[in-house]
Amino acid sequence: MGEFVSVEIADHIATIRLDRPKMNALSRQVQLEIAEAAALVDADAEVHAVILYGGERVFAAGADIKEMAGMSYADMAVHSRTLQDCFTAVARIGKPVIAAITGYALGGGCELALCADFRVAGESARLGQPEITLGIIPGAGGTQRLPRLVGPARAKDLIFTGRHVTAAEALAIGLADQVVPDPEVYTAALELAATFVGGPAAAVRAAKQAVDRGLETDLDTGLEIERLQFAGLFATDDAREGMTAFAEKRRPTFTGR
């Protein structure tokens, strides 16, 4: 669909593929194409799960530093909003999103992976937020999504030092959910995505929104978000089908409605 970002859909699974040689640097154009891809798969009712993939060699090595180096404060004050909005578009996809990580996922690449619900990494993958070594900080969600995922102390370690972590360490601290041999990364992501195909799409979307939005607020507000999502699902065909199937001791057939 774009020059550097494509969307491929097969068996109800969409793959958002980054392809900007050599390292999938996240230029402004790439960022906008990612947001367009996110909107497309979110709106497609035939898509039940999404994979973010940078190819067999690298996920994304970070922002386009040459492009950023020429920007002033005034430039970045405007662009940083677009940058965050593009990544948030991925985080707000109302379907399970899996990042299939090969090679480097650094800086903006790591932040893009943080927008996914699950991360499958190859054994040789390296993840990190090295912005501090450039005299800046993460600007596409790293200071917010990373501590929510791995805890503030571990997030500060990665952000303050800029060090890269191995796939094994990423798994140990919760930054990765699964580590597999490098050639099996995309296949493993497909297998995980396939578990959501044919499921109750409205309920999955509601669950994702309840968890994600609940993490952004206090417990009482989170419980109210959950209550409203829970009650709303009783207006869906899938809820009636699910409970009827349970009573009739058969497998439900969900339609996403």
- Active-site pick, 8, 36, 131, 184: 131
Q: How far is CA 244 from the centre of its chain?
A: 34
- Active-site pick, 111, 169, 184, 241: 111
Burial 30-64 (b: 16+ CB within 10 A, else e): bbbbbbbbbebbbeeeebbbbbbbbbeebbbbbbb
- Going from the C-alpha of 41 to that of each of 23, 34, 111, 211, the distances in angstroms are 24, 11, 20, 20
In a 13 Å sphere around the CA of 235, the CA atoms on its Cβ side amount to 5
Bridge partners, 120 (sequence order): 100, 178
Answer yes or no: 111 catalytic.
yes
Annotated active-site positions, please? Answer: 111, 131
